[in-house]
Amino acid sequence: MASVADSTLAVRPRRKRGPVLHFIGRLFREKPLGAAGAVVFVLFLFCGIFADVLAPYGMNQISPINRLKPPSLQFPFGTDNLGRDMLSRCLYGAQLSVIIGFCAAGIATVISVVLGIVSGYLGGKFDLVLQRFVDAWMSFPDLIILIVVVSVVGPGMPQIIVTLGLLLGIAGSRIIRGAVVSVRENMYVHAAQSTGASTFRILWRHILPNVMAPVIVLFTTRVGTVILAESGLSFLGLGVPPPSPTWGGLLSGSGRTFMLQGPWLALAPGLCLTVVVYATNMFGDALRDLLDPRMRGSR
């Protein structure tokens, strides 16, 4: 897919960077905090994926003789009351957070996009009724729905992922729908419609690309939101149940119980949680600033 420009200017040395690299450059130059957030984000992803390799001990390696040892060379993050290594637990916690965060955010994004596009593009009565349903859904506080639903289907990772995904997805569809509605009246869309392009083609080629920006931003910040939500559920006893070492579970479980005898039990997962949520928010903010046309060029 060589561009016309390339062939005519073949003599001039090309200093063409891919759009992604260009974007990353902008990120680091214009939004240093967001860039830092992005780095942490990637690091978090890396730890999550390679936790099995990185962790020095098992996820649930009980060894009562080593209980409640402070951080040392052997156990960099100390051990908990059953003698399990906290560094390993936190790494596996990262894995769980990656899975829960990305899956739930993914489900949420898919739901948001589908609902938003369908509702926004089709409009009319269908849109009206669907939006009333979304209204109803959004009237319920997240935590309340979570409490009731998790009690219905029981504690467990898949249940929490699906529930959080559904919740955030339906709420997020509003934003996508807004973007779709504003694009719907676009000239290109009218042109495509008048030439008889299929609905699917129009959605795919015209609507969807214009909606990508909010989608990306939503996805990034959602990961942090999900991790935080799970920690709240853990505190109430409704999160992913132990011995799964989710950061929220570690913090609200052994972190709180042994807060005074073993502060490292709370510091380790707490810092991980805070840093990652912070990073996703900063990164998401930076993305929004860079991708959102309204903010572009604001100096």
Q: Which two tokens stand for residue 4?
A: 């016309």
Determine if 236 is a binding residue for another protein (CB under 8 A).
yes
Q: How far is the CB of 157 from another protein (least distance, A)?
A: 12
Site mask for another protein (CB under 8 A), range 258-287, x = bound:
xxxx----x---x--xxx-xx--xx--x--
Residue from the set 248, 264, 268, 287 that interacts with another protein by CB under 8 A? 248
Taking alpha carbons only, the member of 298, 229, 260 closest to residue 68 is: 260
Determine if 90 is a binding residue for another protein (CB under 8 A).
no
Considering only residues 5-34, where is the footprint of another protein by CB under 8 A? 33
Determine if 102 is a binding residue for another protein (CB under 8 A).
no
Site mask for another protein (CB under 8 A), range 50-89, x = bound:
----------x-x-xx-x-------------xx-------
Cβ-based neighbour number of residue 71 at 10 Å? 16
Residue from the set 25, 154, 158, 209 that interacts with another protein by CB under 8 A? 154
Nearest CB to another protein, comparing residues 11 and 260: 260
Helices assigned H by DSSP within the chain = 4-8, 19-30, 32-49, 51-54, 86-122, 124-138, 142-153, 157-184, 187-194, 199-202, 208-235, 247-250, 256-257, 264-291
Stretch that binds another protein, among 11-19, 109-117, 126-134, 209-217 (CB under 8 A): 126-134
Cβ-based neighbour number of residue 57 at 10 Å? 20
Taking alpha carbons only, the member of 239, 191, 213, 222 closest to residue 292 is: 213
Residue from the set 13, 19, 124, 141 that interacts with another protein by CB under 8 A? 141
225, HSE (Cβ side, Cα atoms, 13 Å): 22
Nearest CB to another protein, comparing residues 192 and 226: 226
Q: How far is the CB of 46 from another protein (least distance, A)?
A: 20
Asked whether the beta carbons of 284 and 220 are under 8 A apart, the reply is: yes
Cβ-based neighbour number of residue 290 at 10 Å? 17
Task: Give the burial class of 154: count Cβ atoms within 10 A of its Cβ; 0-12 exposed, 13-18 middle, 19 or more buried.
Answer: exposed
How far out from the chain centre does Cα 101 lie?
Answer: 5
Q: How far is the CB of 213 from another protein (least distance, A)?
A: 15
Determine if 149 is a binding residue for another protein (CB under 8 A).
yes
Determine if 142 is a binding residue for another protein (CB under 8 A).
yes
Task: Measure CA of the first residue to CA of the last residue in the chain; give whole Å.
Answer: 35
Determine if 159 is a binding residue for another protein (CB under 8 A).
no
Q: Which two tokens stand for residue 56?
A: 């020095």
Q: Which residues bind another protein (CB under 8 A)?
A: 33, 60, 62, 64-65, 67, 81-82, 129, 132-133, 135-145, 147-152, 154-155, 224, 228, 231-232, 235-238, 241-243, 248, 251-253, 255-261, 266, 270, 273-275, 277-278, 281-282, 285, 294-295, 298-299
